[in-house]
Each structure stands twice: as C-alpha cells, then as structure tokens.
Amino acid sequence: MDSLWMDGRTFPALDRWESGAHADSVVVGAGLTGLVTALLLARAGMSVTVLEAHHVGALTTGRSTAKLSLLQGGVLSSIRRHFSARVADAYVAANREGQAWMLRYLAENDVPVQRRDAFTFARTAEGVADLDREFEVARAAGLDVERTDEPGLPFRTHGALRLADQAQLDPIGVVLALTADLRARGVRIVERTRVRDVNDEAPATVVTDRGEMTADQIVLATGTPILDRGLYFAKLVPLRSYAAAYRVPGDAVPRGMYLSIDAPTRSLRTAEADGRTCLLVGGNGHIVGRAESAKARLDELDAWTRESFPGAERTHWWSAQDYRSVNRVPFVGSLPRGRGRIFVATGYGKWGMTNAVAAALTLSAEILGGQLPWADTLHHRVTHPATVGAGARFNAGVVREDLKGWVHAETARPEEPAEGQGTIRRRSTGPVAVSRVDGACRAVSAVCTHLGGIVTWNDAERTWDCPLHGSRFRPDGARIEGPATEDLAAEPG
C-alpha cells in the first residue's frame, strides 16, 4: 500500500532520457539527498542531471515519518560509544545545519511545516539507563534537552527526554517543491532510468539500462551505494521498519513527536490528511531478512495502537528500508578508488530528514572546493592547504556567462582577473574571494564559514551571495540575510 504521503499525489511529467548527453554533475537517486545536492550544485552554476530508477521520492524519503529533529532516540550515545565527544559534537553540528537549511527552504517555498517538541521515552524500566546515557551525551553536545516524567502519552512510560521546537513535515511536499525548483533552474530529472555502472575515467561514463551519458562528477544518493567499491555493503546494516496512519476519535492524539529508546520501537507523530489530524505510528523494525513474518510485525504494531488509542481506525500502512553504518556515523564523501569523481552518501540510521541535507551540504562543498569543519571531523577528512577542489577543475579558465563572479580555489595570484572571472587565494588570515566587478578588482574575506569562501557576485542586487547556503552580504561585508556567519572584511582593491 502507498504511504500516507504518496496516496493520491500527482507527480509532474519530467525529462526524457538523452543518450550521449553530458552534464557537469550527475546525481543518481531522487530522494532528499539527491535533490538537495542537485539544487546546491545548480545554484553554483553547474549543469546537473538527476537519474532515478523509480520516481522522485519513491523510496525511503516518501516512506519516512519525516521528523526534522535533533533528538534522535539513542543515536548520540551510540556514536559516543564508538567515537570521541568531538565526533558526537560534529554530528550534532551537521544535523543542526541540515535542520536549519531545511526550515529556511520550507519557509522560502511556502511548504507547510509544524513545529513540535520532540520526546525520547523509555517504555520499560530497563530503558531508563539508556535514557540517562542519551541525556548526558546530548547535554554535553550542546542540546538543550530536559528530563520529564510526563511526556503526554496515554500509556505508561518510565521517563522521557524533551527537546523543544523541533519540526515535522510532509516529505513528498518537500520533494515536489525541490523538483519544481530544480526544473526552473534547468536541471534535468529523468525517472525510470536505472544506473548499472559508472566508469570513472575523465569524463566519467554513467551506464544505464537506457544508454550512456558522461559527467565530470557523479553523486550516488541511492540509499546504499550501487557500486561495490568501498565495500559499503559490508559496512551498512539494512533496516526494515513499518508504519501506519490512523484516524483516532476525539482529541486523544498526542501533539509531540515521540520515539522510544527501547525495543520494540514505537514512533508517533501527527499528520494532516483529508482535512483531519491523524496519528502516525511506526516501529517493530528489524534487520532485513531476519523476521519470520513482516505481516506479523505489522499486526502486532496495529494491535498495540488499537490498545493504546481505543477506537483507532487504520487508513494506511507501509514499510520503509533504511541503512545504518556500523559505527552509527553516516558515510559521506569521495568513493574509494573513484579518482575523486564519484561521491557517496549513506548510512543515516533512519534520520534522513536532517542527515540527508547535511550530506548534501558536505558533498556540494567537497565538489565545489569548500570546507565544512564539522564534516571534516565527522567524516575523518584531512584537507591539505594546497588542495584544489573539484569546483576549481570544473571552473578552470574563463567563467561561463551564467557564472559571472564565480570564485574558486587556485594558486594563481588574483590581482588581475579578467572580466567575469573570479578566484580564491589563501593567506594567513584565510581565503580571499576576488572578482572583477564594474572594472574594479574587489577582494573580501571568506563569505560563509560553512563553505570556506565559495561566493558569487550578484550584479543585479550588488551583493556577494553564498550559492549553497543562502547567505547574502554587501560589498563592505555586512550580512543582509541568511544564517549567521563570520562577517566579511573588506580589503583595498
């Protein structure tokens, strides 16, 4: 059965396959990771094609419970068991960044979102110890988590954690907004096209069941990478879980977002359907292939819901498949032995709403030559000062007309860039973006801390724009809009 999100939705007719075509970047997979990555690259001026084996949002994204939350059950304490506090802090920073980006995008595109408190609760007395550990790690990582004995549920619990002002959304609503945005920017989205292989020569060849095309960079945003390189099939745990939507009489539906820290998992939130508020219940997850009967799992979840919420009437049910990394930290970055042309993102452990956007920001920054300090920590990347990003290779030479003011990393001195060109050079105080505007060579410090100096000059608005993150600055460095970042420092020139 379709998920609540996909039932009755109309999806637009998209683009036709063209054998032999070339794009700066090909993104494989039209879920949240793939679509946001494509958007970030397109904002920076790249030509992008998205290839999807089914239709946009068809798999994990369209079957998610879609909680945009930094409180994620027992994730942080699990990470802390494998890594230092520094990595746990970086995970929170990445998810905070993903959440903030998504909330801004929803607001800018009039996509509905509901702000809710998030709760992690213990169903059993044995779960209290796990709740205690999660509380300690979350507080140490900077989350304003509170303990509570009254999470507002109609069944017995043994305490809970509460994080205020999180969010929930309709994932297909987001997918459709991203799809419209991408097509307006000239991004091609080709559905019903399965990628079979990638040849990583320059340019890389993408082999599909309908023909071949080429690209300078390939992003595999397919849940689990479709290529064996990197052995991700051995480093990921495939997880199947179940969800159902219910009409519940009266006002018995709890208003927060809930997840149990102990098994069998119970996940709850509200959603709007046919003008009514319904209850979404998820859980009873298991490793793929290790359950005797999926129907029995769903039946047990259904029986628990009817007992906990008398009169509940099921309207939809579905299952989803997610992948968890063995060390609980997502794998994001260059594919091993991919020659710096193939990138992957996987292993979100059922928390894709925030992690997918964080992964898209990470991949886009890496492809465009930027830096994200939390990504370097989280994904154990070491960036050499002399490293030239793929964005520099993409944009070497004269900038295309639609990229006027583009800046990138290279070692050449930037005192005399030609009209419409831009570069970045490094010095002791950090990257300096330079662009010739109106015949004058202007230099400013790195615009956006999240991107390490990737900026464009917006000639119409007379501003420096961070194309991936949405920040905007005047030539003197004053921030006009977007997230709080380090201010620019104007330089002579």
* DSSP single-letter state for residue 316: E
Does residue 240 sit in helix, strand or coil?
A: strand
- The SS3 of residue 394 is helix
Half-sphere exposure of 129 (CA within 13 A, CB side): 1
- What is the spatial distance between Cα 148 and Cα 159, in angstroms, rounded to a whole number? 6
Q: Does the predicted TM-score (pTM) go above 0.85? A: no
Instruction: Please report which helix (H) or strand (E) contains residue 271, including its range.
Output: strand 266-273
Please enumerate in sequence order all residues whose Cβ is within 8 A of that of 332, keeping only pairs 6 or more positions apart, or say none: 344, 345, 346, 358, 359, 362, 363, 375, 378, 379
pLDDT at site 178: 98
Biggest alpha carbon distance in the chain? 74
pLDDT at 477: 53
Cis omega (within 30 of 0) for bond into 264? yes
Each of the 493 residues of the chain gets a pLDDT tens digit; together they read: 689 999 989 999 999 999 999 999 999 999 999 999 999 999 988 999 999 999 999 999 999 999 999 999 999 999 998 888 999 999 999 999 999 999 999 999 999 999 999 999 999 999 999 999 999 999 999 999 999 999 999 999 999 999 999 999 999 999 999 999 999 999 999 999 999 999 888 899 999 999 999 999 999 999 999 998 888 888 899 999 999 999 998 777 899 999 999 999 999 999 988 888 999 999 999 999 888 888 899 999 999 999 999 999 999 999 999 999 988 999 999 998 788 899 999 999 999 999 999 999 999 988 988 778 899 888 865 433 333 333 333 322 222 222 233 333 333 233 333 343 333 333 333 333 444 433 343 443 333 433 333 455 566 666 666 555 556 666 555 566 654 333 333 332 2
CA proximity to 358, closest of 171, 169, 173, 99:
99
Query: What are the structure tokens assigned to 445, written together?
Result: 């410090």
Angle at which helix 85-108 crosses helix 171-184, to 10 degrees, equals: 70
**The token pair that represents 137 in the structure block:** 């790690």
Q: Which two tokens stand for residue 40?
A: 């970030």
Q: pLDDT for 9-62, tens place per residue?
A: 999 999 999 999 999 999 999 999 999 999 999 998 899 999 999 999 999 999
The pLDDT value given to residue 231: 86
Q: Residue 75: in which H helix or E strand, if any?
A: helix 75-82
> DSSP letter at 281?
E
How much is the pLDDT for 292? 81
Phi then psi for residue 234, to 5 deg, are -95, -10
- By C-alpha distance, which of 336, 340, 360 is closest to 348? 360
Containing H/E element for 376? helix 373-378
Enclosing H/E stretch for 140: helix 128-140
